[in-house]
């Protein structure tokens, strides 16, 4: 699950800086994903993590969209186990 979530976040590239520009943020979001099941809550975490690191704002709607994809990966992994 962590590998799929990491790959998705790398491809997301919200600031068009290149896929390898978000290692710390990706790790923070994947760690938060472990304990969050609500897309809005996860979206707020994503928005805060990226804004803190890059001092740029990401529209909440974009964060919600990626949070749904991350949660889908998480719940898919739970169903496989």
Residue 17 inside a domain? The answer is: no
What does the alpha-carbon distance between residue 43 and residue 71 come to, in Å, rounded to a whole number? Answer: 11
Domain that holds residue 69: 1-12+22-79
Which ranges constitute the DSSP H helices of the chain?
2-12, 23-33, 39-54, 60-80
- pLDDT score of 80: 58
Average pLDDT of the chain? 93
- For 59-76, the pLDDT digits (tens) are 999 999 999 999 999 998
* pTM of full prediction above 0.85: yes
What does the alpha-carbon distance between residue 25 and residue 79 come to, in Å, rounded to a whole number? Answer: 27
Domain tally, the chain = 1
Give the model's confidence band at 7: pLDDT under 50 very low, under 70 low, under 90 confident, else very high.
very high
**Cβ-based neighbour number of residue 9 at 10 Å:** 25
pLDDT at 79 over 90: no
For residue 59, the domain's CATH number is 1.10.340.20
Residue 35 inside a domain? The answer is: yes
């Amino acid at each position: 699950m962590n590998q799929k979530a990491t790959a998705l976040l790398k491809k997301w590239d919200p600031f068009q800086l290149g896929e390898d520009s978000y290692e710390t943020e990706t790790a923070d979001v994947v760690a938060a994903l472990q304990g969050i099941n609500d897309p809005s809550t996860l979206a707020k975490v994503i928005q805060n993590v990226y804004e803190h690191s890059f001092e740029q704002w990401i529209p909440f709607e974009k964060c919600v969209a990626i949070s749904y994809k991350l949660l889908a990966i998480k719940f898919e992994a739970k169903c496989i186990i």
